[in-house]
Structure 1
Amino acid sequence: MFEIVITSNKDEKLLSQIHTCLGGTLSDTGGGSVLRFDNDVGKGVVRNISFDGGISLLDCDVTLSKEVTLLFKASDVSPINFLFISEGTLNYSVGNAEEPIVFERFQNIIVSEERLAKKGYAYAASNRLKLNCIRISRKAYLKKKNNNVNTLDSKLRRVFTDTKGAKAYLHQGGYNLKIADEIKKLNEVPHKGMFSTLSIEGRVYLILALQLQEHDTFLTEGALPHSLSRQDIKKIHELTDFILTNISRPITVEVLANASGLSAKKLQLGFKMSYSKTVNGYVRELKLKLARDYLKTTDLSISEIVYAVGIKSRSYFSKIFFEAYGLLPTDYRKQLKLGKHTNTENQEP
């Protein structure tokens, strides 16, 4: 376990304290600071940029070789944190909680901790973590002209006006690809120059607006067209067993929609979030992997395998198998019988 201790919530001190613990090179980009490191702890980039009105951006793209905990022991009031994870997961705990809360990929998360509460973010080794955190200092933001805090729902309005950090608040909302797309665009903006600074600030405000919108919709039990609930994601994952059980059948979006009770649009969104594939792409990949295993472990004929995995024809099976693995099914089996090495097991269709 590698521990990074933070004793101040001030933007100007945050990255320097991470640098002290983590090592690497800390540089000034003109609009903020960037930490780059590559050592026995891991490698990656952490960036911090401050804007007017108490708003700042802390984001990271890291792959660590050790389990790392970011532990906050600051005495000053913590900011409101709008978190979004594009890759990986993050464990979160406050005080002496026995079980950490898991922040998941693509989930809209808003965290505000009680003052003097010890809190930590734990990250498991060997997995990539891409995290975007928009931090809002309440006192500074309330001084901002046209802050419109009074238009927020009552729960979030109390969070923004709690300038002493008297109460904690946690929102684990829906899963949102629109926010993920905007963060991807944000990360593509160059890191220097006036145009860059203005572009980054504009995108930070847009992402913040989307996170606030998701929060409002979540509380009213509505659903944005680009969002899924935790229950929706659970249904998507349960479909894996349904697909395997019915692999010899034609499995269409309509079939899966009837089995899950989800709309076709939610199905496509859920498969993109969970597997980075369309529904048809996921089903085809699964059929190909099963067919490859049949070729390797059984004496079934090609025609029998095609029937067993529910592919429409032998010629189509040969075509997509070759596209995926660079070999025809018959050649793959011949190589196996000859004892030749084949690397298709590690290939993704």
Structure 2
Amino acid sequence: MSRFLIEIQDVNDTIPKLASLFKIGFKADLTEYTVLIPSDLGKGKITGVNFPNGLGLYTYRCYFHEETEIVHKNLVFNPIRLVHCIQGDVFNLNEEIPEEIKITNHEHFFIAPKKGDSHTLKFPKENTVSLCCLEIDRAKFKKYLPFELTEIEPVFYSLFGDVNALQGKYHTGMFSLKVSDIIHEIYNCKETGFPRINFMGAKSLEILSYMLSRYRKEVTGKGLINVTGREYKAVEKVTEYINNNLANLETIPELALRVGVNVNKLQAIFQSVFGQTVNEYIRDVRLSKALSLLSRGDIQIGEIVQEVGLNSRSYFSKIFKEKYGVLPRQILHHESGFIPEHLNEQKKSKKKEVN
């Protein structure tokens, strides 16, 4: 087994110190750090970026040849960590935990180590793992808030109020496809530099907001639907089918039958996971794809309407404007100052040629 102990004195220590332990270099782009897994250990990469509000976002996409432990020991600040697994299995260990806790696809784990304690992520050998770790520096986050911590609900104060980490806390959460979707957006982000850092900062807050809502439901038991792992996997299959078959979608009863869940249960799970009905989810996926196609500027609205599975161009324009505040044609014909991305790139190229 390989074991790497990272003693952290500053929020930006994690990736550089891990790179040093790996005996390899790392890449820095503004405040985002990346280290590649050395070939003798496995493959993949680990990235980390920290923000002024006390949030840190770390992503692990890795494969290790042998069982590997990465141990985080914070010497100065006392963080809360939210570990969310996208693919594979990962084990969490800590002095306060009686036995290691395994999380797998779409499961998450909250941990706030006691001052001086460590938190270990254990990766099984020959296992492709993809996970996101949201780290909250409680002292910084407290200063960032525009109100006193004593004003927040007790369920959250027990986590965020213990800035000096006098007590250790941990909580194993339930499945969350919504957070997985947000993390996939981070993985798929093609932006670079300053826009990328801002995008990741916004997504970090989105993850935190959603997971705090789930944490409240899980701790209090209020508003939480009891859903099995099999049922969550059914919803995952439905969302994958929806995204890949927008032009020729089946009816909701047919979707439910496809994954072996009754219609009412399917609707209930969608409300729990996405806060939407199945139809509302489908509408948003359609509009999101339509926006992407319109932004290209080379496909006519009628074609887009068909490609996203709608029959009425007027209905499409109506729901598009309700969601985005502009008509599809304004984006397609770059009215109101909107310039499709491909035209913007052409404009930049011509400007360079002139200069």
TM-score w.r.t. the length of structure 2 is 0.63
Give the structure 1 partner of residue 17 of structure 2. 17
Q: What secondary structure is seen at the aligned counterpart in 1 of 2:195?
A: helix
Give the structure 2 partner of residue 263 of structure 1. 265
Deviation at 1:61, TM superposition (A): 0.8
Kindly tell me: are residues 128 and 153 of structure 1, through their superposed partners in 2, closer, same or farther at Cα, counting changes over 3 Å?
A: farther
Structure 2 Cα separation of the partners of residues 34 and 114 of structure 1? 28
Aligned-residue CA RMSD in angstroms? 3.1
Structure 1 Cα separation of the partners of residues 97 and 174 of structure 2? 24
The answer as to 2:228 corresponding to 1:232 is yes
| Residue pair 1:11, 1:50 contacting (<8 A) in 2 also | yes
The aligned amino acid for 1:232 is T
Deviation at 1:139, TM superposition (A): 1.0
| Residue pair 1:254, 1:264 contacting (<8 A) in 2 also | no
Kindly tell me: are residues 167 and 255 of structure 1, through their superposed partners in 2, closer, same or farther at Cα, counting changes over 3 Å?
A: closer
Deviation at 1:214, TM superposition (A): 0.9
Give the structure 1 partner of residue 257 of structure 2. 253
**Structure 1 unaligned runs (5+)?**
238-251, 271-349
Kindly tell me: are residues 20 and 128 of structure 1, through their superposed partners in 2, closer, same or farther at Cα, counting changes over 3 Å?
A: same
Structure 1 Cα separation of the partners of residues 268 and 131 of structure 2? 24
Q: What secondary structure is seen at the aligned counterpart in 2 of 1:121?
A: strand
Structure 2 Cα separation of the partners of residues 145 and 97 of structure 1? 30
Rg bigger for which structure?
Answer: 1
Structure 2 Cα separation of the partners of residues 41 and 20 of structure 1? 14
Q: What secondary structure is seen at the aligned counterpart in 1 of 2:93?
A: strand
Summarize deviations over 1:40-65 as a string: whole Å, max 9, x none: 10111111111112111111111111
The answer as to 2:195 corresponding to 1:195 is yes
The answer as to 2:134 corresponding to 1:134 is yes
- Within a 5 Å distance, the mapping from 1:103-182 to structure 2 comes to 103-146=103-146, 149-150=149-150, 152-182=152-182
Give the structure 2 partner of residue 209 of structure 1. 209
| Residue pair 1:31, 1:192 contacting (<8 A) in 2 also | no
Summarize deviations over 1:207-260 as a string: whole Å, max 9, x none: 111111111122232456xxx75x6126779xxxxxxxxxxxxxx7399447xx
Deviation at 1:68, TM superposition (A): 0.4
Structure 1 Cα separation of the partners of residues 59 and 259 of structure 2? 40
The aligned amino acid for 1:264 is L
Structure 1 Cα separation of the partners of residues 259 and 46 of structure 2? 44
| Residue pair 1:232, 1:262 contacting (<8 A) in 2 also | no
| Residue pair 1:110, 1:170 contacting (<8 A) in 2 also | yes
| Residue pair 1:30, 1:192 contacting (<8 A) in 2 also | no
Q: What secondary structure is seen at the aligned counterpart in 1 of 2:66?
A: coil
Give the structure 2 partner of residue 309 of structure 1. none
The answer as to 2:78 corresponding to 1:78 is yes
| Residue pair 1:141, 1:147 contacting (<8 A) in 2 also | no
Structure 2 Cα separation of the partners of residues 161 and 131 of structure 1? 27
Q: What secondary structure is seen at the aligned counterpart in 2 of 1:166?
A: coil
Kindly tell me: are residues 61 and 152 of structure 1, through their superposed partners in 2, closer, same or farther at Cα, counting changes over 3 Å?
A: farther
Q: What secondary structure is seen at the aligned counterpart in 2 of 1:164?
A: coil
Aligned length: 253
Give the structure 1 partner of residue 56 of structure 2. 56
Deviation at 1:35, TM superposition (A): 0.9
TM-score w.r.t. the length of structure 1 is 0.64
Summarize deviations over 1:87-119 as a string: whole Å, max 9, x none: 112111222866311122212322101112243
Q: What secondary structure is seen at the aligned counterpart in 2 of 1:53?
A: coil
Summarize deviations over 1:123-157 as a string: whole Å, max 9, x none: 10111111111111111111114257445431321
Q: What secondary structure is seen at the aligned counterpart in 1 of 2:8?
A: coil
Q: What secondary structure is seen at the aligned counterpart in 1 of 2:174?
A: strand
Q: What secondary structure is seen at the aligned counterpart in 2 of 1:132?
A: strand
| Residue pair 2:31, 2:50 contacting (<8 A) in 1 also | yes
Structure 1 Cα separation of the partners of residues 187 and 147 of structure 2? 26
- Structure 1 stretch displaced more, 111-120 or 145-154: 145-154
Structure 1 Cα separation of the partners of residues 259 and 51 of structure 2? 49
| Residue pair 1:69, 1:123 contacting (<8 A) in 2 also | yes
